[in-house]
């Protein structure tokens, strides 16, 4: 069931971040920080919203999104991650669609995703292309030399 | 003289933001917020650094930059603004060069600027092209419908 997480889901959110093969330590910590800000300040003040897919108490996936400052209804999808043992079966696709719908409900006009151009992110990039995103831009060597930022967008 | 600002420069920083014709109210407030975070937490913790050009107590221009999270030595130049009555004479160019040098001193590898694709920002975009930046990407309708984000980068 896709739902807004409760405070006790934080551990499983962290566990999913730590179990994906593509997140490095700094990225795992970044998700933890956004989660803490979300808990302590709420979505409105923190600017971070979380959605999870939870089946019988087990977290299968989480997403985090929020409005981009200084824009008219542009939202960032900061993170979306699926438990590696729950892959296939459309978990990611379902949570992505639910996140888009939630952003739409908030009045969102444009959703923006930033990801890596590394070969290890090829499945991720193909996932976004397959779910209706436009590969809008590539920033060469953005993350580090040899690691481009690839920006996808979708009109909502 | 280009220098690190003192707390009392905040008013003139605000005044420059408010006097430029291209900043809207939300953007003026954003600069004020970054300034407050810089004052209260310092550059290291806040992630925001300021430089100003100050002549005989009068602020001619300010710049604000900082490291981008989750990257290897990529820095954002968040803001650079020149008092409209101090334009021409190379004030902006001098402060931009000093900001680049400051980022280099911090170990910066890549400097990234985001600006608007609106006609009113044409002089700004030409300024970045004339100072060695590469127009790396355009995100259509990013700020609002009809207002693209234009991303410039420079290797340091």
Which residues of chain A have a CB within 8 Å of the CB of B144? 71-74, 109
Measured between alpha carbons, how far is B156 from B154 in angstroms, rounded to an integer? 6
The secondary structure of residue B124, as a DSSP letter, is: H
**H-helix or E-strand containing B55?**
strand B49-55
Task: Determine the pLDDT at residue A104.
Answer: 98
- Domain carrying residue B81: 2-155
**Number of residues in chain A:** 156
A120 Cβ contact list (under 8 Å, min separation 6): A21, A22
Candidate from A26, A110, A140 with C-beta closest to B70:
A26
Tally of domains within chain B? 1
CATH code assigned at B85: 3.40.630.30
Q: How far is CA B132 from CA A20, A144, B5, B94, B97, in A?
A: 39, 20, 26, 13, 10
Beta strands in chain A (DSSP E): 2-3, 49-55, 58-67, 74-82, 110-116, 134-144, 147-155
Mutation target for A interface from B137, B147, B155, B156: give the one with most A CBs within 10 A.
B137
Q: Are B81 and B61 in contact (CB under 8 A)?
A: yes
Number of neighbours of residue B46 by Cβ within 10 angstroms: 16
Backbone angles phi, psi at A149, to 5 degrees: -95, 130
Record the pTM: 0.95
Measured between alpha carbons, how far is A113 from A77 in angstroms, rounded to an integer? 5
Interface residues of chain A, partner chain B, Cβ below 8 Å: 26-27, 30, 69-74, 109-110, 112, 136-145, 147, 151, 153
Measured between alpha carbons, how far is B53 from B32 in angstroms, rounded to an integer? 18
Which residues of chain B have a CB within 8 Å of the CB of A17? none
Chain B residue with CA closest to A25: the answer is B70
The secondary structure of residue B84, as a DSSP letter, is: G
Residue-wise pLDDT tens digits, A35-78: 999 999 999 999 999 999 999 999 999 999 999 999 999 999 99
Backbone angles phi, psi at A76, to 5 degrees: -100, 135
Candidate from B26, B73, B110 with C-beta closest to A70:
B26
Which residues of chain B have a CB within 8 Å of the CB of A137? 136-139, 151
Measured between alpha carbons, how far is A23 from A25 in angstroms, rounded to an integer? 7
Counting DSSP H helices and E strands in chain B, the numbers are 4, 7
State whether B30 and A72 contact (CB < 8 Å): no
User: Is the per-residue pLDDT at A32 higher than 90?
Assistant: yes
Residue-wise pLDDT tens digits, B45-56: 999 999 999 999
Angle between helices A25-46 and A10-19 (to 10 degrees): 140
Name the residue with tokens 């808990």: A39
Distance of CA A103 to the CA centre of its chain: 12
If pLDDT is split at 50, 70 and 90, which confidence band does A92 have? very high
Strand A74-82 to A110-116 pairing: parallel
If pLDDT is split at 50, 70 and 90, which confidence band does A119 have? very high
Name the residue with tokens 């355009």: B138
> What is the ipTM metric for this complex?
0.94
- How large is the C-alpha radius of gyration of chain A? 15
Backbone angles phi, psi at A73, to 5 degrees: 60, 30
Please tell me the distance in Å from A20's CA to the nearest CA on chain B.
Answer: 16
**Which residues of chain B, if any, have pLDDT below 50?**
none
Mutation target for B interface from A17, A25, A137: give the one with most B CBs within 10 A.
A137
User: Is the per-residue pLDDT at A21 higher than 90?
Assistant: no
DSSP SS3 for B80: strand
């Amino acid at each position: 069931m896709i739902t807004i997480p409760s405070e006790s889901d934080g551990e499983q959110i962290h566990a999913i971040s730590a179990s994906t093969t593509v997140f490095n330590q700094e990225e795992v910590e970044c998700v933890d920080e956004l989660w803490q800000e979300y808990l302590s300040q709420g979505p409105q003040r923190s600017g971070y919203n979380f959605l999870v897919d939870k089946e019988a108490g087990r977290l299968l996936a989480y997403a985090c999104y929020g409005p981009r400052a200084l824009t008219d209804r542009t939202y960032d999808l900061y993170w979306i991650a699926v438990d590696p043992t729950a892959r296939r079966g459309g978990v990611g696709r379902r949570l992505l669609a639910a996140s888009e719908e939630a952003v739409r409900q908030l009045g969102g006009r444009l959703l923006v995703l930033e990801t890596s151009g590394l070969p290890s992110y090829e499945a991720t990039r193909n996932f976004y292309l397959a779910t209706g995103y436009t590969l809008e831009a590539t920033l060469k060597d953005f993350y580090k030399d040899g690691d481009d930022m690839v920006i996808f967008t979708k009109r909502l």
